[in-house]
Structure 1
Amino acid sequence: MSNFRRVFMFLEAASKAHAKWEYDISLNIIKNRKKMFILLLLLLPIVAVSAINAADVIGGHHAYAPVFYSNTIFFVSIAVGLAAGLITGCIGAGGGFIITPALMAAGVKGILAVGTDMFHIFAKAIMGTTIHKKLGNVSVKLAIAFLVGSAGGTVIGGSINKALYNKSPILSDAFISTIYTLLLGFLGFYAMADYLRSRKGPSSEGGAHDAHGSMASGTPSLPMNIQAIRIPPMIAFDEDYGGKEISWLFIALGGGVVGILAAIMGVGGGFITFPMFVYIFGVSTATTVGTDILQIIFTAGFSSIGQYAINGYVFYSLAMGMLVGSLIGIQIGALTTKVVKGIQIRGFYAISILAGFINRATTLPKKLVELEYIQLGKPIVTGIENVGNIIFWIVIGIFGVWIFSKFFGNMGKLREDA
């Protein structure tokens, strides 16, 4: 198996693990009347100030002060959350990757999109997580070592974003768009190749997973090699599975990587923590799930509040709009999987990720011209950007229409299955 293939499998596992977390969280919120009532109370201030137009305060070189922007952008945030929820629920992966690009495509500056997405994840985690049910699977020592690293990572990632924005808002947008272009491009092209291979028949590539989520292969695994490096203090974990030990240093370094990515991209630490714990550190799935719940809350909370909110880079009304939209979208998307073919879902996964890639990639020429790194005519770069936006929203729109048509068209069958 090639190294690129391994990286793709790692990222695919990451997005699937985060999608499962998103679904569990949304189900927890929707089924709890108290939490739904709290969400309604959080939405009331936004509705109350809906007549205020604070657009004059937003933009330029300064932090964003207002809690509200405009009616249009608030409803766009609901649509963005709905689209991400539909993708997450139906595909089981990838939805969270399009939120920041979608907000930027709607005209929200990159640093605000990142900070708002992080706050949306934090709010969802706080509202939807029932920690006491999972505490039996939490390794406190692993969690502490990881959180020490992730706290430092969020400071680094947040500082990078803020420093770039303070130097030039255009440079900040270009940086965030470049990161998403590279990630979504890699994921999208590999996902499309995987989809095309699957249409021809089962692929022989890839490894089987054992009961604890480890990759089964004939060669010495990476987790075993890492656990063999004895840098004290050592952390014991998985006592119920025979017991293992790993150096705190590797866990803290892993937390640092997750914190940096979370703070820069606004995607939440959970999307990368799960495969990192399982495939790199060799932690059992049960322990990983419980520990991941704690780290998402603290990593997303520390990043969104400590790095963005206190500096005015969180758009609360957008966060609440995305939360409402995603709660609805995830449930509809998950139900739709019962009436659509798996091969179609894999194809839409690849297409939706590639749409996000095209959207971010087509913004770069305009940003590079504005930064005076390249020289192209304004009509050309504006046209390229507009094409990318049109393709993105058309793909997302078609996907949404397709999901809703399948959902409402098979309502009778879905009711029978329920």
Structure 2
Amino acid sequence: MNKLRKIYELMMAGAIYQARWEKQMSDNILRNKKRLLILIAFISPILLVSFLGAADILGGKSAYAPSYYTTTVFIASMAVGMAAGLITGCIGAGGGFIIAPALMAAGVKGILAVGTDQFHIFAKAIMGTVIHRKLGNVCVGLAVAFVIGSVLGATTGGYIQRYIYNWNPVASEAFISIVYAVILGFLGFYGLRDYIKLSRARKKGVTAEAGAHGGPLTTTQLAINIQKVKIPPMIYFDEDFGGRRISWLFVTVCGFVVGILAAVMGVGGGFVTFPLFVYVLGVSTPTTVGTDIFQIIFTAGYSSITQYAIYGYVFYTLAMGLLLGSLVGIQIGALTTKVVPGMVIRGFWVLTILAGFANRASVVPDKLRSLEIWAISKEACDILILIGNIVFWVAIGGFAVWVLGSFFKNLKAFREEV
């Protein structure tokens, strides 16, 4: 139980870091005129071709649904992006976890949803990144070793996705859904346990510990042991903190793990990179942040383009809708945290993650039935899918309406602060 708890804390620390990265990218783009112009220049050609009815040129095969541009599809993708942005900005964790499940629930094939999500992350990274090299927060050695591993991992993950899809598209849907159900279920139920524990403690007047949502990060014994292993070449880092060194092998292995997860799930690798760097490799937080910002462009770009885009598994108009929606949603969500109690925000986070779990778990029986692995009636599967969709869209939609309502209700106060 303690080991599971530790895994949960590591995943939450990573999810929180990923949310901070998303917020930083949004700030860098929306608060800089040059970057806004780059965004417009990046999006306009894609949307222009789509409006002209040639979206198939930009990705998506005729067997996919949707595989062509419609105004409804674009608006829906913006809504999904905004909902994810609201969760990221307001809750500070977990918004990116719902994008691929939401696209799949809307009828997009799993492999296309993953590729599109991955591409939108790459677009956000390349337009919003401000390299910290001049501040000394980027360790080139760590970044290079990590990127080597992440490229190998992304290649492996992309191959796995395409192999399963080419073998059987239904198996691909089942695989992606199971991966998301396991991760979201683990995070959701542990989060629910924490929420109940914290609520009871507050009723008794006891201040509960911060747990995964706060607290200092210290070098673990695992990291100390790893740094003692001398397999050349050695990478030197954290000179400002006394200087440390580590074998390239461990950094590359961590990059490989991140690359596989990013390629398989489509989410940003930051939610895994942060705990691996800090807790496993023993890298300081400033160096971790700077180095991850440096490497994510290469990892996300390589994965989205070479493993999905060139095979037609990226729907670019959806990606642009996700990008626009998430940029705005993050800003609104972040402002809303100023007027909403923390316990309410925490409760909504648990609700949205469990809703994502319910949605993906609900389709698994039907996929297993189609693969003739589980003898269950189609009627029962249809009922489960219907329930999963209702729970998901009501939870996500309800959360979005609540956040937007809170935002507009306090809009005057926000303007006065500015």
TM-score normalised by the chain length of structure 1: 0.93
What is the alpha-carbon distance in structure 1 between the residues aligned to residue 311 and residue 21 of structure 2? 29
Q: Are the aligned partners of 2:60 and 2:112 in contact in 1 as well (CA < 8 Å)?
A: no
CA gap 1:58/1:43 in 2 versus in 1, 3 angstroms = closer
Letter in 1 for 2:371: L
Deviation at 1:76, TM superposition (A): 1.0
Structure 1 stretch displaced more, 375-384 or 247-256: 375-384
Residue in 2 aligned with 1:382? 382
Q: Does 1:334 align with 2:339?
A: no
What is the alpha-carbon distance in structure 2 between the residues aligned to residue 410 and residue 312 of structure 1? 44
Structure 1 stretch displaced more, 367-376 or 81-90: 367-376
Letter in 1 for 2:165: Y
What is the alpha-carbon distance in structure 2 between the residues aligned to residue 411 and residue 366 of structure 1? 45
Aligned-partner SS, 2:142: helix
Q: Are the aligned partners of 1:54 and 1:70 in contact in 2 as well (CA < 8 Å)?
A: no
Q: Are the aligned partners of 1:137 and 1:291 in contact in 2 as well (CA < 8 Å)?
A: yes
Q: Deviations over 1:172-210 (max 9, x none)?
A: 010000000000000000111111111122335848844
What is the alpha-carbon distance in structure 2 between the residues aligned to residue 190 and residue 25 of structure 1? 29
Report runs of 4+ in structure 1 exceeding 6 Å deviation: none
CA gap 1:137/1:60 in 2 versus in 1, 3 angstroms = same
Deviation at 1:298, TM superposition (A): 0.6
Residue in 2 aligned with 1:179? 179
Q: Are the aligned partners of 1:237 and 1:245 in contact in 2 as well (CA < 8 Å)?
A: yes
1:50-199 alignment runs, 5 A limit? 50=51, 52=53, 68-131=68-131, 136-199=136-199
Q: Are the aligned partners of 2:117 and 2:267 in contact in 1 as well (CA < 8 Å)?
A: yes
Residue in 2 aligned with 1:299? 299
Structure 1 stretch displaced more, 108-117 or 42-51: 42-51
TM-score normalised by the chain length of structure 2: 0.93
Residue in 1 aligned with 2:50? 49
What is the alpha-carbon distance in structure 2 between the residues aligned to residue 2 and residue 107 of structure 1? 39
Q: Deviations over 1:125-154 (max 9, x none)?
A: 001112256662101111111111101000
Deviation at 1:71, TM superposition (A): 2.1
Structure 1 stretch displaced more, 220-229 or 9-18: 220-229
RMSD between aligned alpha carbons? 2.2
Q: Are the aligned partners of 2:362 and 2:384 in contact in 1 as well (CA < 8 Å)?
A: yes
Residue in 1 aligned with 2:410? 410
Residue in 1 aligned with 2:218? 214
Q: Are the aligned partners of 2:132 and 2:290 in contact in 1 as well (CA < 8 Å)?
A: no
Aligned-partner SS, 2:136: helix
Q: State the aligned residue count.
A: 410
CA gap 1:133/1:332 in 2 versus in 1, 3 angstroms = farther
Deviation at 1:221, TM superposition (A): 1.9
Q: Deviations over 1:46-67 (max 9, x none)?
A: 2553363879x956768x996x
What is the alpha-carbon distance in structure 2 between the residues aligned to residue 12 and residue 306 of structure 1? 29
Structure 1 stretch displaced more, 69-78 or 39-48: 39-48
Q: Are the aligned partners of 1:53 and 1:70 in contact in 2 as well (CA < 8 Å)?
A: no
Unpaired segments of 5 or more residues in structure 2? 202-206
1:203 pairs, out of 208, 215, 222, with 208
CA gap 1:42/1:230 in 2 versus in 1, 3 angstroms = closer
Residue in 1 aligned with 2:204? none
What is the alpha-carbon distance in structure 2 between the residues aligned to residue 65 and residue 394 of structure 1? 22
Aligned-partner SS, 2:373: coil
Q: Does 1:4 align with 2:8?
A: no
Q: Are the aligned partners of 2:157 and 2:261 in contact in 1 as well (CA < 8 Å)?
A: yes
Deviation at 1:39, TM superposition (A): 2.3
Q: How much identity, in percent, do the aligned residues show?
A: 56
What is the alpha-carbon distance in structure 2 between the residues aligned to residue 272 and residue 134 of structure 1? 26
Aligned-partner SS, 1:317: helix
Aligned-partner SS, 1:131: coil
Deviation at 1:365, TM superposition (A): 0.9
Letter in 2 for 1:358: A
Residue in 2 aligned with 1:40? 40
Q: Does 1:266 align with 2:242?
A: no
Letter in 1 for 2:283: V
1:20-35 alignment runs, 5 A limit? 20-35=20-35
Aligned-partner SS, 2:307: helix
Q: Are the aligned partners of 2:149 and 2:256 in contact in 1 as well (CA < 8 Å)?
A: yes
Aligned-partner SS, 1:314: coil
Residue in 2 aligned with 1:252? 252
